[in-house]
Amino acid sequence: MMKEAIGKLIDGQGLTEAEAEAAMLEIMDGLATPAQIGSYVTALRMKGETVEEITGSARAMRARATRIRPNDPIIVDTCGTGGDGAGTFNVSTTVAFVLAGAGITVAKHGNRAVSSRAGSADILARLGVRIDLPPKDVEECIGEIGMGFLYAPLFHAAMKHALGPRQELGVRTIFNLLGPLTNPAGACIQVLGVYDQGLTDILAKVLMKLGSRHCYVVHGMDGLDEITLTDRTRISEGKGGRITNYFIEPCDFGFQRVRLKDLSGGDAEENAAITRDILEGREGPRQQLVLLNAAPALVACGKATTLQEGVEVARGVIRSGAAMQKLERLIKWTNR
């Protein structure tokens, strides 16, 4: 299958969902050579990945993942593609604690840094969270405290076959998109930040095809893979199988535009300190950014009716101390 798929892509032809799934299964099962993997993902990137190709690939990766099944039917993930190169702090990781503090069940899927100085796993480890719990323990953690961290290498062992080609290529490929689409807890509500505005509509359609109940795929027009405070943000919202595309601005929420450096982060230690400061109530542009990025999931989970109300709910969660308490419970539970 792999040779045929590469040939079609080189000729500029798209793959069907079934063909893309079969090709990715060959990679996941160790049946494709490193040269074939590199050629395949490069040809896909040069042609431009379609909804069908991404969906089929995600189905294959989900099929080979170690799954967990928390009891709550409504589970949220905040996981972006990364790769924006902006050097901000770990927004989605901080947001996860706000959502959990609001009573939402969160299965935070993430990894160590790939394209940034600090990934979600790096930050959580610095904060004192044990990140390498076995899947069954993560399932229990989510059930008991309403939140857990799913460390990608422990849930996606089959990805080891693609690791070498990915590192050697050193460019964005379909694998950058698949992580946020393959939450092992089956998160049905997602806020997904992407590094390219052309991906918002595409990935919202993919999430709908994969069974998402409600999703927001966002891209800051300053390049951030988050809702931003420096510019407009493009949002593709998926619900009930339909996609709605629109823009929001900081002023829609009573916020002033800021400079990108006002949202900057650093290494894992610095970013962990920023996250802790925000959860402890330190106000300013960084906290405002967290409030904005928490709002969509709060709406999707019925905790707010509008994004504006979601911002206020998120602010109340931080002021009440509930978000910080959730971090402390996660640290204690994972180190018991």
- pTM of the predicted protein model: 0.94
Instruction: Kindly state whether residue 316 falls inside one of the protein's structural domains.
Output: yes
Instruction: Kindly state whether residue 70 falls inside one of the protein's structural domains.
Output: no
Instruction: Kindly state whether residue 82 falls inside one of the protein's structural domains.
Output: yes
- Do 53 and 160 lie in one domain? The reply is no
- Do 127 and 53 lie in one domain? The reply is no
Instruction: Kindly state whether residue 25 falls inside one of the protein's structural domains.
Output: yes
CB 195 within 8 A of CB 223: yes
Domain that holds residue 141: 76-334
- Do 47 and 97 lie in one domain? The reply is no
CB 307 within 8 A of CB 216: no
Give the whole-angstrom CA distance, residue 294 versus residue 103. Answer: 13
- Do 51 and 91 lie in one domain? The reply is no
Query: 217-242: b or e for each residue (b if 16 or more CB lie within 10 Å)?
Result: bbbbebbbbbbbbbbbbbbbbbbeee
With a cut of 60, say whether residue 315 has pLDDT above it: yes
- List the CATH number of the domain containing 209: 3.40.1030.10
- Do 216 and 273 lie in one domain? The reply is yes
Flag the least confident range among 117-121, 217-221, 268-272: 117-121
Q: What angle do CA 195, 201, 203 make, to 5 degrees?
A: 65
- List the CATH number of the domain containing 46: 1.20.970.10
Give the whole-angstrom CA distance, residue 127 versus residue 307. Answer: 29
- Do 80 and 129 lie in one domain? The reply is yes
With a cut of 80, say whether residue 83 has pLDDT above it: no
At 247, which helix (H) or strand (E)? strand 242-248
With cut-offs at 50, 70 and 90, classify the pLDDT of residue 336: very high
- CB-based contacts of 328-335 (< 8 A; 24+ apart in sequence): 329/145, 329/147, 330/129, 330/141, 330/145, 330/147, 330/148, 330/149, 331/127, 331/128, 331/129, 333/141, 333/144, 333/145, 334/129, 334/130, 334/131, 334/133, 334/141, 334/149, 335/128, 335/130
With a cut of 70, say whether residue 110 has pLDDT above it: yes
- Do 112 and 235 lie in one domain? The reply is yes
With a cut of 80, say whether residue 84 has pLDDT above it: no
Number of domains within the chain:
2
- Do 58 and 88 lie in one domain? The reply is no
Residue with tokens 């040069």: 46
What mean pLDDT is predicted for residues 115-140? 91
- Do 195 and 56 lie in one domain? The reply is no
Instruction: Kindly state whether residue 57 falls inside one of the protein's structural domains.
Output: yes
What mean pLDDT is predicted for residues 65-85? 87
- Do 121 and 168 lie in one domain? The reply is yes
Q: Look at residue 106 in the predicted model and tell me its pLDDT.
A: 98
Q: Look at residue 119 in the predicted model and tell me its pLDDT.
A: 83
N- to C-terminal Cα separation, the chain: 47
- Do 161 and 18 lie in one domain? The reply is no
pLDDT over 70 for what percent of the chain? Answer: 97
With a cut of 70, say whether residue 333 has pLDDT above it: yes
Q: Look at residue 86 in the predicted model and tell me its pLDDT.
A: 74
- Do 87 and 59 lie in one domain? The reply is no
CB 265 within 8 A of CB 271: yes
How high does pLDDT run on average in the chain?
95
Q: What angle do CA 165, 66, 139 make, to 5 degrees?
A: 135
Flag the least confident range among 55-69, 79-93, 200-214, 295-309: 79-93
Q: Look at residue 116 in the predicted model and tell me its pLDDT.
A: 59
Q: Look at residue 1 in the predicted model and tell me its pLDDT.
A: 87
With cut-offs at 50, 70 and 90, classify the pLDDT of residue 184: very high
